[in-house]
Structure 1
Amino acid sequence: MPPTVNVKSVTSNVGWSVLSKASTFGLKFVTVPILARILSPEEFGGVAVALTVVQFLAMIGGAGLTSALVIQREEEMETVHSVFWANLAIAILMAIGLYAYAVPFAALLGAPEASYLLEIMSLLIPLQLGGDVAYSLLARRMNFSKEAFWSMIAESTGAIVAVVMALFGFGVWALIAQLFVSALVRLCGLYAVSHYMPRFVFHPGRVLKLSRFSLGMMGSEIANFITFQSPMVIISRSLSLADAGAYSAANRFASIPNQVVLSAVMGVLFPAFSGMVEDKQRRSQALLFSTQVTTVLLAPMMFGIWALAEPAMRILFGPQWAYAWPVLGLLALSKGILTPCSTFIPYLKGVGHGRALFWSAVVRAIATTLAVAYGAATGTLVDAMIWLCIVNAVTLVGYSWAVFRADGTPFLKGFSISCRPMMMALLMALAVRFLLDHFGASLPNPVLQVVAGAITGGVLYAGLILFSERSLLGKIFQLIKNRGRIV
């Protein structure tokens, strides 16, 4: 059976995951701007478009089978081996298909010059899917410290290789090397720490049994993938590869806070919520509490990037990217609007609300695609990002209604509690933006503007949270004092 879920296990695993992501964040904070200064927007755009296809096929190839392993009550090795071979066979077929049809795929995405990148990056699919079974074993054992360590090593090694190659003039190959090195190091590390050794055992019936769960998850994952990746495809087709590169560079940087907090927390919350599936009161409390905590952490980062986007873009990315500062700000704003939704996907997956997860994801994917397409067709990249912010504001309300309805929590109560930290972060960001607009000229150096804005924002946000979230802070304090008790 999966281990008992309690405060100590959840907070320990979240801590390890956040430590891993925070370490990787520190390196990416340096490497992304370095690569952006050395490489061109077209090079960023070509790799980003190709990676979109690879990630989509890798996601379909997994079909959610490894997610189904996480929630199995017993760790049956014959089932694990069967899933490994099914994943590997699908991955190889996907890689062969992508290599064979790289030219029409690239043309479909509006980037025919990136077809050779698709051929090369097709090999990433087996590397990515090959480690999923080992990861699922660590996840069901709530042993995220080892996974976190190897993720940190993999991402750091890949980033260092990319920067070194870019400095020596390898151009776009630096980005490709980063992807392959990170994937290979992660693959080897996961198998080393999970102590999993595949055996040639395959039972089709066991795979089909898991597919009842995995196919439902795959539908929602495809919809979520479309939500996150459709802007890239739309921009490359409707605008230009340079615009796609600007979007990719800005999105990479704006996504760093999510990678630090959200990706770490979501990986732990999925098995944690699945362990609370029979305790409605406990899982409802966990939903609200985890949503508040992630919003308190994420919202000030995202809205802070929006407030400081103009000077930050000039400092980090250099003059060739200075024109894209509104894109960075609007992307951060769009992500900040959705911070109260951070825990919704692992909650719905963990407690078995597959239908709510699927339809919420589908509606969000359709709305996001249509909004960005309309903005790109009728205006510029900035217009497309404005429409992305608008649709995310609508998504916040609709997604919250679906999740709180599935949980049985009154909508107004749940919505107000989860959104309150976000509103405090928004007030902080508006104040910082106002001060920079009116008094920023007295600090002509953009570095001083960023430092002054960050300090001012941090002080304002701390005061607002102390005023509005005293109850939450009290719970966190009690959690630390009584971390050994079961929730």
Structure 2
Amino acid sequence: MPPTVNAKSVTRNVGWSVLSKTSTFGLKFVTVPILARILTPESFGAVAVALTLVQFLAMIGGAGLASALVIQKDENLDTIHSVFWANLAISCLMAVVLYVGADPLAAWLGAPEAAGLLRIMSVLIPLQLGGDVAYALLARRMQFSKDAAWSMISELAGAGLAVILALLGAGVWALVAQLFISAIIRLAGLYAVSRYLPRFVFKPRRVLELSRFSLGMMGSEIANFITFQSPMVVISRFLGLADAGAYSAANRFASIPNQVVLSAVMGVLFPAFSNMMHDRQRRSDALMLSTQVTTVLLAPMMFGLWAIAEPAMLVLFGHQWAYAWPVLGLLALSKGVLTPCSTFIPYLKGVGHGGALFWWAVIRAVVTTAAVVYGAAGGTLVSAMIWLCIVNVAVLIGYSWVVFRADGMPFLRGLYLSTRPMVTAFLMALIVRYTLDMLRDHLTNPVLQIVVGSILGGIIYGLLVLLTERALKDKILELVRSRRAGEVTPLAE
């Protein structure tokens, strides 16, 4: 049986996951700008385009079987072994398909020069999928602390190697080496901490029993993947590798806050919501609490980055990337708009609304891709990003409707409570942006602009949150007091 989920266990596991992702954030905060200064936009674009296809095939190869293991009542070894071998066989097949079809696939992506990279990076597919079963076992046991250390070690090793190779003139291969060393170390670490040892046991019936859930999850994951990665393919085809590289560098940096908070929280919330599947009030309260907390944390980061995007791009990436500061700002804005949606995917997965998750993910993928195509067809990367922002506003409203309808919460009440911290953060960002514009003649140093904007934004946002989120503050303090007192408080009870 999965462990009992309560506020103490969830906050502990979220804490470990956030620690892991924060370490990754620190590394990328340093290494992405360093690599961007050494490498060309074309190098970033080539690896980003190739990695998009590799990750897509890896997602298909996994077929969602590992996710299905998370919600099983018991750890049946025959089922676990069967899923491992199924994943391995499918991932190897995908790698072969990518290797053989590298030339036409690279041409279709608008980057024929990336064919060689695709052949080499095809090996990443079995490396990535090989650890899915081990990670699923840790997730169902809520043992995220055991995964955190190896995540940090793998990211540190990959980032360090990439910087060294880039300084030695390795060019695009520095980025490729980073991906491989991180994947290999993480794979070894997952098996070490999960204590899972594959045995040659394969029972097709066990795999088929999981396929109904896994195929539905795979469909929604593919649609979500298309939503997040289709802009890269569209930009590469319509605007070329240089713009794809600019988008990739800006997107990698703008995504860091999401990777720190969302990746950590979503991994924990999926098994947590699954445990609450039949307790409507408890899961409803947990949904709103987790949504508000993640929005309070993420929204000021994203909107704050939008406010200081111009000096940040110059300071972090150098003069060769300075032209792309509107791209960084618009990407931060588009991600900031979606911060209230941060817990929606694990909620729908965990409580069994796979059908709603699938169809909404498909609609979102189609609309997002169409919007970016429309913007890129106009000839500029900035116009594509503007349309991405516009469509994300519609996604926020539609996604909220789907989730609150599934939860049984009144739509307008749920939308108001979940988006209030986001609106507060946007108001803060507008004040910071206006203030920096007014002081432009006096604050000519971009580093000083970042410092002043960050301090001013932190003070303004802190005051606004204290005024608008008193109930949330009281709830968090109550959970903290219960944790310190050693009470086992059910999550969001």
Q: Shorter-normalised TM-score: what interval?
A: over 0.9
Q: Shift in Å at residue 460 of structure 1?
A: 0.2
Structure-1 separation of matches of 2:489 and 2:115: 55
Aligned partner of 2:33 in structure 1 is: 33
Q: CA RMSD in A?
A: 0.5
* 1:44-443 equivalence runs, <5 A: 44-443=44-443
- Residues 252-276 of structure 1: per-residue CA shift (max 9 Å, x gap): 0000000100100000000000000
Structure-2 separation of matches of 1:478 and 1:166: 49
Structure-1 separation of matches of 2:353 and 2:150: 32
* 1:9-28 equivalence runs, <5 A: 9-28=9-28
SS at match of 1:365: helix
- Residues 170-216 of structure 1: per-residue CA shift (max 9 Å, x gap): 00000000000000000000000000000000000000110010000
- Residues 9-51 of structure 1: per-residue CA shift (max 9 Å, x gap): 1000000000111111111100000000000000000000000
Aligned partner of 1:465 in structure 2 is: 465
SS at match of 1:440: coil
SS at match of 2:439: helix
SS at match of 1:442: coil
Structure-1 separation of matches of 2:146 and 2:34: 29
Structure-2 separation of matches of 1:27 and 1:372: 30
Which amino acid is 2:163 matched to? V
Aligned partner of 2:450 in structure 1 is: 450
Which amino acid is 2:490 matched to? I
Structure-2 separation of matches of 1:218 and 1:80: 18
Structure-2 separation of matches of 1:156 and 1:365: 33
Structure-2 separation of matches of 1:348 and 1:337: 20
Matching of residue 481 in structure 1 with residue 481 in structure 2: yes
Q: Which moved more, 1:117-126 or 1:476-485?
A: 476-485
Structure-2 separation of matches of 1:183 and 1:97: 20
Contact 2:306 2:332 in 1 (8 A): yes
- Residues 110-144 of structure 1: per-residue CA shift (max 9 Å, x gap): 00000000000000000000000000000000000
Structure-2 separation of matches of 1:363 and 1:468: 33
Q: Shift in Å at residue 440 of structure 1?
A: 2.4
Q: Shift in Å at residue 486 of structure 1?
A: 2.1
Q: Shift in Å at residue 441 of structure 1?
A: 2.1
Q: Shift in Å at residue 291 of structure 1?
A: 0.1
- Residues 71-120 of structure 1: per-residue CA shift (max 9 Å, x gap): 00001011000000000000110001100000000000000000000000
SS at match of 2:193: helix
Structure-1 separation of matches of 2:441 and 2:266: 41
Structure-2 separation of matches of 1:408 and 1:236: 42
Structure-2 separation of matches of 1:259 and 1:399: 20
Q: Shift in Å at residue 7 of structure 1?
A: 0.6
Structure-1 separation of matches of 2:219 and 2:455: 43
Structure-2 separation of matches of 1:441 and 1:226: 43
Report % sequence identity. Answer: 75
Contact 2:239 2:379 in 1 (8 A): no
Which amino acid is 2:79 matched to? T
Which amino acid is 1:356 matched to? A
- Residues 215-272 of structure 1: per-residue CA shift (max 9 Å, x gap): 0001101100100000000000011100000000000000000010010000000000
- Residues 348-390 of structure 1: per-residue CA shift (max 9 Å, x gap): 0000001110111011101100000000002300000000000
Structure-2 separation of matches of 1:235 and 1:368: 13
SS at match of 1:202: coil
Structure-2 separation of matches of 1:240 and 1:229: 16
Which amino acid is 1:399 matched to? Y
Structure-2 separation of matches of 1:113 and 1:168: 22
SS at match of 2:440: helix
Q: Structure 2: which 5+ runs fail to align? A: none
Contact 2:121 2:176 in 1 (8 A): yes
Structure-2 separation of matches of 1:287 and 1:356: 16
Structure-1 separation of matches of 2:69 and 2:89: 18
Q: Shift in Å at residue 295 of structure 1?
A: 0.1
SS at match of 1:417: helix
- Residues 148-190 of structure 1: per-residue CA shift (max 9 Å, x gap): 1111111111011100110111000000000000000000000
Q: Structure 1: which 5+ runs fail to align? A: none
SS at match of 2:262: helix
Contact 2:66 2:136 in 1 (8 A): yes
Which amino acid is 1:95 matched to? A
Q: Shift in Å at residue 278 of structure 1?
A: 0.8
Structure-2 separation of matches of 1:462 and 1:59: 40
Structure-1 separation of matches of 2:185 and 2:18: 20
Structure-1 separation of matches of 2:254 and 2:438: 25
Aligned length: 487
Structure-2 separation of matches of 1:291 and 1:149: 27
What TM-score comes out, normalization by structure 1 length?
Answer: 1.00
Structure-2 separation of matches of 1:208 and 1:265: 30
Which amino acid is 2:286 matched to? A
